[in-house]
Amino acid sequence: MAANRLTFKATMAQVSVPATSANLGSGFDTFGLALDLRDRYAAQILDDVAFDVDVSGEGADEVKKDKNNLVIKSMLAGFDFMGQKPRGLALRALNVTPHGRGLGSSASAIVGGLALARELVLGGDQIMSEEEMMALATQLEGHPDNVAAAIHGGAAIAWMEDVYGVQTGRSVSIPVNPEIKAVLFIPEAHLSTKKARALLPETIPHKDAVLNSSHTALLTVALSTRPDLLLTATEDYLHQSYRTEAFPKSMALVEKLRKAGVAAVISGAGPSVLVLHTASATELEEIIKAGGAGFEAKNLEISRTGVE
């Protein structure tokens, strides 16, 4: 944490943060992928002790509009890390990432808030490095995969590491083959990450762990140079089947698509479904039709950039 007094900028700062999909099937709590669906935030330092928050778009009627807003809380955590909090803040948020659908809306808010704090401090990018932002974002989020992808863009591998006795979020980015595109199937239903995690067993069979480990390793290659291996690489033995009761329609769609040779997975904690593909236009139409009326289908590019 910085010891010197900060110089706050008088101008407004603006950032955008991509939606993210975690796990990608076999990469449970490890892999994250940035999608070209971006929340946008603008903030300014206030001289008065006040928090002026306005939110539009997705979740506008659900999120807090005071100092307990997640973007504001993350900004304050960022200022505190750098050494000094401002008296007040004004925030304008335009959300496009659906909330409670396994698309990293909380990670977007956290990374966006930290990036705004850094932008509003003179020399902020030198006081808070990207590595430090990653560690702080992990503390706020509770797990590193979504925030890693939101920071780096593209695909990211994240893990927890003991640093001076403290478990700290670490990450590296990996290139994504330009042929790979994404389709999201977004249901109306919401699901909290806490509820989804509660369905996981304490132990799994050793053979399942071995299979999952091999697929997770393969996923790195499939994403970067061998998209033809995506179907096998995304096959999961750790979490999806155990959570079926929480999103039966989503799992039915995953199984339907995978039987047709399409690399479909539950996005994060669900209930959205993510498809990674290199399909032709005709094949893409068939994939989208498979979702039926119960899902909103979005045809997306992989976001090559993270927060910016």
Per-residue CA distances from 14 to 82, 114, 143, 165 (Å)? 19, 12, 25, 35
What pLDDT score was predicted for residue 2?
Answer: 46
Give the chain's end-to-end CA distance (angstroms, integer): 23
57 has a pLDDT exceeding 70: yes
Phi, then psi, of 98 in degrees rounded to 5: -60, 140
Quick one: which of 275, 265, 177 has its CA closest to 221? 177
Instruction: Yes or no: say if 267 and 250 are a contact pair by the CB < 8 Å rule.
Output: no
pLDDT in tens, 150-201: 999 999 999 999 988 888 999 999 999 999 999 999 998 887 877 878 888 8
- How many whole angstroms from its chain centre is CA 216? 18
- How many whole angstroms from its chain centre is CA 172? 15
Mean pLDDT of the chain: 94
Phi, then psi, of 139 in degrees rounded to 5: -60, -45
Instruction: Yes or no: say if 136 and 144 are a contact pair by the CB < 8 Å rule.
Output: no
What pLDDT score was predicted for residue 196?
Answer: 79
**Domains in the chain, start-ordered, CATH in brackets?**
13-174 (3.30.230.10), 181-300 (3.30.70.890)
Beta-bridge partners for 41: 15, 93
- How many whole angstroms from its chain centre is CA 38? 11
pLDDT in tens, 261-291: 999 999 998 999 999 999 999 999 999 999 9
Distance CA 143, CA 241 (A): 21
Distance CA 109, CA 141 (A): 10
What pLDDT score was predicted for residue 4?
Answer: 61
What pLDDT score was predicted for residue 134?
Answer: 97
Phi, then psi, of 223 in degrees rounded to 5: -70, -35
33 has a pLDDT exceeding 90: yes
CB atoms under 10 Å from CB of 155, counted, come to 26
Q: Name, in order, each residue with C-beta under 8 angstroms of 288's C-beta and a sequence gap of 6 or more.
A: 183, 297, 299
pLDDT in tens, 112-156: 999 999 999 999 999 999 999 999 999 999 999 999 999 999 999
Q: Read off the DSSP letter of residue 121.
A: B
Half-sphere exposure of 58 (CA within 13 A, CB side): 20
Q: Counting Cβ atoms within 10 Å, is residue 183 exposed (0-12), middle (13-18) or buried (19+)?
A: buried
pLDDT in tens, 213-261: 999 999 999 999 999 999 999 999 999 998 988 899 999 999 999 999 9
